[in-house]
Chains A and B, each alone.
Chain A
Amino acid sequence: MLSYVARRCLYMIPTLFGISVVAFAIIQLPPGDYLTTLVSRLENQGESVDRAQLESLRERYGLGDPLASQYVTWMSSILFHGDFGQSFEYSRPVADLVADRLPLTVVLAVTTLLTTWLLAFPIGLYSAVRQYSPGDYLATIVGFLGLAIPNFMIALLLMYLGQTVFGMSVGGLFSPEFEDAAWNLGKVIDLLGHLWVPVLVLATAGTAGLIRVLRANLLDELHRPYVVAARARGMPERKLLVRYPLRAALNPFVSTVGYVLPALVSGEVVVAQVLSLPTTGPLLLNALRSQDMYLASSVILIVSVLTVIGTLLSDVLLAWLDPRVRLDQG
């Protein structure tokens, strides 16, 4: 088991390196560098440009050096000083900006993942055990719709219905009076009152996929000889189901984190924009629109790294749950 975990952690290193290279490339892609953008922006605002300050900034980011050494400068200040650079859109350190929004993004992603499981588990189970029943067909149809309707359409529809039918605004994560308040019980309750909308919207696609996986896996298991054998020995159907096939079919719940999580993070960007949530998605979008590249690539870097770590956790969990996995590869 330990060697399996160690191996998985080792595999992660090239992945993390790859992510950092991609994030760095995104900084480099737009024409010009940080300073030319900064200067043109300052001049547009009619402010004078301080030569000495520019020089120190040039020094700080190693601009003008070869790309490889710029990359090393960028990476080492992140790794050793937690310094992600400066956002000129907000004139604040990128680290602060991201720190403001990241916790809510993580809360949203984790809640959505749990909700996905909670929804998919009973529905998938029912679908497989009562195959071809009306309920199964309904679940299949809902599943297909969940996959086909873009997340943001569901968000738009909910917002529209909330506005016209119930006369309430659905967007945001906090009511205005709690927006800038310090954390207390009231704010948490207020958050929960708002959180369900994006969670529900984001959970649809993942749930739809998971139902199909669980149903297919369970159907495979249900016709295995060991199930027939247990039934022949007079084991009650319910106990039989829970004791054997269900355990085998549980694996997808853990293993699909690997692709549900990236999809979730992707979906979050669009949904958060539509519902104007204070998460990293809209931050990234604004940064990309205004070519605030240090901010944009930091968000991409952090979100991707978190996704990879989440996937690693799920793999370890899976190996712990299912000896076949760790014996096969470890």
Chain B
Amino acid sequence: MTGLAAAPGAAGTTQTPEGPPTEKKGGAPPRDSASQWRLVWRRFRRHRLAMLGLAVTAALYLVAIFADFLAPFGTEHFDEDYPYAPPQTIQFDGGLHVDGYTTAVDNETYEQTFTTDPSQRIPVGFFVRGEEYRLLGLIPWDRHLFGPTEPGAPMYLLGADRTGHDLLSQLIHGTRVSMTIGLIGVVVAFVLGVVLGGLSGYLAGRADTVIQRVVEFFMSLPSLPLWLGLAAALPPEWGPLQRYFAISVVLALIGWTHLAREVRGRFLALREEQFVTAARLDGCGRRRVILGHMLPSVSSHLIAQLSLSVPAMILAETALSFLGLGLQAPVVSWGVLLQDAQNVRVLETAPWLMIPGLAVVVAVLALNFAGDGLRDAADPYRR
């Protein structure tokens, strides 16, 4: 019997789909046996696109954690003198600098336009002193990874918005909200999906029919109008944090259905397995059979499925905030930043306002690739 635990690590070994993928020492020779997670990791590493996705995802979460340090300015920082200032490029001539701006005023419309002016130099350095913040929310510090050496000098590497906020800083701070809002939603969706899907699959029969009808109901609804309805009904006096949690729960309310389907399918197949029957005959209660015996053998698959629902939530949050019914202004997320880009006329003067959209695309792609790879790697029945 070649259980998974005894499979030698050489690439290309076929693993017979037999028995639960948990440890099973049986008649295996006394060899160093890899745990299930090590096997998953081994398969995952071979998937190049998935590794790239994982690296980008990890980088994004690092940015989210150290946003205060990485961003040259805080979220509150703005300079009204530079509305829609175009992006500068960093130049090197002995020391780093960016060009300053010259303004021109249109004689007819009195509109200010900015152009970068190579004759002005704004020196830029690493680990410069700037606004104070608390690193990781604990350690007070005032150094930023890079920024203008002279505080208050204009530096807009990705341009400025209408009120002169630095888009790069906003984007870095927005990473925090955008990348985490999906996580809380996913946890709620996970609990709902696993409990309802698990019951549906384990009990079968009438309970299954009822739960499946509920799932179908949620799946047949156009989700965005519903989200909008629920988001619009949030009390306006709620603070940003309350809104943030409420929105993520709203997102989860619709997002759990796919997971429930998945868990149900797996459980329906698993309940016929011999080890489940054995557990039942040994006198395990229903709870113990589900939580102790069945859930562990689908856990890796579930986690992969979960990682695929994070990008969907990021997209949903972006759409909601973009429409002005999700998160609101003092909170910075990619969707909130994109609100400024709704108008074509604005985009004509400041096309760089679309950059947060690029961040969304990169994050969603990375999470999708990583999730796809994880799903393939976690499935023991796949070659």
Residues of A whose CB lies within 8 Å of any CB of B are 11, 14-15, 18-19, 22, 26, 29-31, 144-145, 147-150, 152-153, 156-157, 159-160, 163-164, 169, 171, 258-259, 261-267, 269-270, 273-274, 284-285, 288-289, 291, 296-297, 299-300, 303-304, 307-308, 311
**Could you tell me if A164 and B354 are in contact, using CB atoms closer than 8 angstroms?**
no
Residues of B whose CB lies within 8 Å of any CB of A are 213, 216-217, 219-226, 228-230, 232-233, 235, 311, 315, 318-319, 322-325, 338, 341-342, 344, 347-348, 351, 354, 357, 360-361, 364-365, 368-369
Min CB–CB distance B383 → chain A (angstroms):
13
**Could you tell me if B221 and A262 are in contact, using CB atoms closer than 8 angstroms?**
yes
When distances are taken between beta carbons in the complex, the residues of chain B under 8 Å from A26 are: 229-230, 233
The docked-state distance in angstroms from the alpha carbon of A148 to that of B308 is 12
When distances are taken between beta carbons in the complex, the residues of chain B under 8 Å from A18 are: 217
Which residue of B222, B232, B347, B354 contacts A304 across the interface (Cβ within 8 Å)?
A: B222
Which residue of B213, B225, B348, B364 contacts A163 across the interface (Cβ within 8 Å)?
A: B348
**Could you tell me if A149 and B219 are in contact, using CB atoms closer than 8 angstroms?**
no
Min CB–CB distance B99 → chain A (angstroms):
24
Min CB–CB distance A149 → chain B (angstroms):
5
Having A169-B344, A296-B229, one finds 17 other A-B pairs with CB under 8 Å, namely A11-B216, A14-B213, A14-B217, A19-B221, A26-B230, A150-B315, A150-B319, A160-B347, A258-B219, A262-B219, A263-B222, A265-B224, A270-B322, A270-B323, A284-B228, A304-B226, A308-B220
When distances are taken between beta carbons in the complex, the residues of chain B under 8 Å from A15 are: 213, 216-217, 220
**Could you tell me if B225 and A303 are in contact, using CB atoms closer than 8 angstroms?**
yes
Which 10 pairs between the two chains have the least Cβ-Cβ distance? Answer: A266-B224, A29-B233, A265-B222, A288-B232, A148-B364, A26-B229, A153-B357, A262-B222, A148-B365, A160-B347
> Which B residue sits closest to A309, measured CB to CB?
B220
Min CB–CB distance B266 → chain A (angstroms):
19
When distances are taken between beta carbons in the complex, the residues of chain B under 8 Å from A163 are: 344, 347-348
**Could you tell me if A159 and B221 are in contact, using CB atoms closer than 8 angstroms?**
no
Knowing A160-B347, A285-B323 are in contact, say whether A274-B222 is a contact too (CB < 8 A).
no
Which residue of A147, A164, A261, A265 contacts B225 across the interface (Cβ within 8 Å)?
A: A265
> Which B residue sits closest to A18, measured CB to CB?
B217
Please name 17 pairs of A and B residues whose Cβ atoms are closer than 8 Å in the assembled complex, sorted by A. A11-B216, A15-B216, A30-B233, A31-B235, A144-B365, A148-B361, A163-B344, A169-B344, A262-B219, A262-B220, A265-B222, A266-B224, A269-B228, A273-B323, A285-B228, A289-B232, A299-B225
The docked-state distance in angstroms from the alpha carbon of A300 to that of B305 is 29
**Could you tell me if B222 and A303 are in contact, using CB atoms closer than 8 angstroms?**
yes
When distances are taken between beta carbons in the complex, the residues of chain A under 8 Å from B235 are: 31
When distances are taken between beta carbons in the complex, the residues of chain A under 8 Å from B221 are: 19, 22, 262, 304, 307
Min CB–CB distance A323 → chain B (angstroms):
22
Min CB–CB distance A329 → chain B (angstroms):
12
The docked-state distance in angstroms from the alpha carbon of A258 to that of B229 is 22
> Which B residue sits closest to A29, measured CB to CB?
B233
Q: What is the predominant secondary structure among interface residues of chain A facing chain B?
A: helix
Which residue of B223, B318, B322, B325 contacts A288 across the interface (Cβ within 8 Å)?
A: B325
**Could you tell me if A145 and B213 are in contact, using CB atoms closer than 8 angstroms?**
no
Min CB–CB distance B242 → chain A (angstroms):
15
Number of A-B contacts (CB under 8 A): 134
When distances are taken between beta carbons in the complex, the residues of chain A under 8 Å from B341 are: 156
When distances are taken between beta carbons in the complex, the residues of chain B under 8 Å from A264 are: 222
When distances are taken between beta carbons in the complex, the residues of chain A under 8 Å from B224 are: 265-267, 269-270
**Could you tell me if A152 and B319 are in contact, using CB atoms closer than 8 angstroms?**
yes
Min CB–CB distance B325 → chain A (angstroms):
7
The docked-state distance in angstroms from the alpha carbon of A176 to that of B337 is 31
Which residue of B230, B318, B344 contacts A150 across the interface (Cβ within 8 Å)?
A: B318
> Which A residue sits closest to B372, measured CB to CB?
A144
Min CB–CB distance B109 → chain A (angstroms):
18
Which residue of B230, B354, B369 contacts A156 across the interface (Cβ within 8 Å)?
A: B354
**Could you tell me if A160 and B342 are in contact, using CB atoms closer than 8 angstroms?**
no
A144, A156, A171, A284 — which one has the most chain B CB atoms within 10 A of its CB?
A156
When distances are taken between beta carbons in the complex, the residues of chain A under 8 Å from B324 are: 289
When distances are taken between beta carbons in the complex, the residues of chain B under 8 Å from A145 are: 361, 365
The docked-state distance in angstroms from the alpha carbon of A269 to that of B360 is 19
**Could you tell me if B368 and A157 are in contact, using CB atoms closer than 8 angstroms?**
no
The docked-state distance in angstroms from the alpha carbon of A266 to that of B229 is 12
**Could you tell me if B225 and A269 are in contact, using CB atoms closer than 8 angstroms?**
yes
> Which A residue sits closest to B229, measured CB to CB?
A26
The docked-state distance in angstroms from the alpha carbon of A215 to that of B224 is 28
**Could you tell me if A266 and B222 are in contact, using CB atoms closer than 8 angstroms?**
yes
**Could you tell me if A22 and B347 are in contact, using CB atoms closer than 8 angstroms?**
no
A14, A171, A266, A299 — which one has the most chain B CB atoms within 10 A of its CB?
A266
**Could you tell me if A153 and B354 are in contact, using CB atoms closer than 8 angstroms?**
yes
Min CB–CB distance A294 → chain B (angstroms):
12
Knowing A18-B217, A273-B323 are in contact, say whether A288-B361 is a contact too (CB < 8 A).
no
When distances are taken between beta carbons in the complex, the residues of chain B under 8 Å from A300 are: 225-226, 229
When distances are taken between beta carbons in the complex, the residues of chain B under 8 Å from A14 are: 213, 217
Knowing A164-B348, A171-B344, A270-B319 are in contact, say whether A144-B368 is a contact too (CB < 8 A).
yes
When distances are taken between beta carbons in the complex, the residues of chain B under 8 Å from A156 are: 341-342, 347, 354, 357
When distances are taken between beta carbons in the complex, the residues of chain B under 8 Å from A303 are: 222, 225
When distances are taken between beta carbons in the complex, the residues of chain B under 8 Å from A148 are: 311, 361, 364-365, 368
When distances are taken between beta carbons in the complex, the residues of chain B under 8 Å from A297 are: 229
> Which A residue sits closest to B319, measured CB to CB?
A270
Min CB–CB distance A146 → chain B (angstroms):
11
When distances are taken between beta carbons in the complex, the residues of chain A under 8 Å from B216 are: 11, 15
Knowing A144-B365, A262-B222, A304-B221 are in contact, say whether A274-B342 is a contact too (CB < 8 A).
yes
A150, A269, A297 — which one has the most chain B CB atoms within 10 A of its CB?
A150
> Which A residue sits closest to B345, measured CB to CB?
A163
> Which B residue sits closest to A170, measured CB to CB?
B344
The docked-state distance in angstroms from the alpha carbon of A153 to that of B365 is 15
**Could you tell me if B322 and A262 are in contact, using CB atoms closer than 8 angstroms?**
no
Min CB–CB distance A301 → chain B (angstroms):
10
Knowing A15-B216, A270-B322 are in contact, say whether A153-B228 is a contact too (CB < 8 A).
no
> Which B residue sits closest to A281, measured CB to CB?
B225
When distances are taken between beta carbons in the complex, the residues of chain A under 8 Å from B222 are: 261-266, 303-304, 307
When distances are taken between beta carbons in the complex, the residues of chain B under 8 Å from A31 are: 235
